[in-house]
Structure 1
Amino acid sequence: MGNNENTMQFDFSRNKKDLTKSIITEVYNALSEKGYNPVNQLVGYLLSGDPTYITNHNGARALVRKLERDEILEEVIKAYLEIK
């Protein structure tokens, strides 16, 4: 292992954003594969909190439940408004 004298900086907000995007993309794809309208299903889940709006296909339901709904909405709004 080499000596690295530079301090590494961990950016939690960036990692959270990337994780949220990755999970929502996987859930979106799983819903599409099963023939659902992914946007409608995700909106239903976000509004109600009922995980049955999300298919179990490819573990999508378990994935989406790793995130808090308010965190998902926060990232969606930031992306919509292009806020960094």
Structure 2
Amino acid sequence: MSEDMQETMMFKVQKEEKIKVRNVLEEVQAALKEKGYDPINQLIGYLLSGDPAYITSHKGARNLIRRVERDEIIAELLKNYLT
């Protein structure tokens, strides 16, 4: 065997960039508005129930909002409201 075959190869996985809750909410809000939904009502339904069916799949909004935890969304909303 050649010496190259005996060396340990390094594999580094790129960490997914931390998604910003604010950006997610802005994109989801825009998609909901485009489809004619009231973003506040739809987001409340999603946050209370956890059912992603409250969020349109238009522009990938449903998949996008599922990338952040509901408690992260609530924390971001409270942080911005209370400060």
Higher helix proportion (structure 1 or 2): 1
Residues in 1 aligned to 2:29 and 2:70: alpha-carbon distance in whole angstroms: 15
Matches within 5 A, 1:18-37: 19-37=20-38
Query: How far off its partner does 1:30 sit?
Result: 0.1
CA RMSD of aligned residues (A): 1.4
Q: What 5-or-longer segments of structure 1 have no aligned partner?
A: 1-14
Query: How far off its partner does 1:46 sit?
Result: 0.2
By relative contact order (CA 8 Å, sep 6+), the higher-ranking structure is 2
Q: Given the two structures, how large is their TM-score scaled by the length of structure 2? A: 0.77
Residues in 2 aligned to 1:74 and 1:21: alpha-carbon distance in whole angstroms: 11
Larger Rg: 2
Give 1:44's aligned residue: 45
Query: How far off its partner does 1:48 sit?
Result: 0.2
Structure 1 stretches of 4+ moved >2 Å: none
Identity %: 58
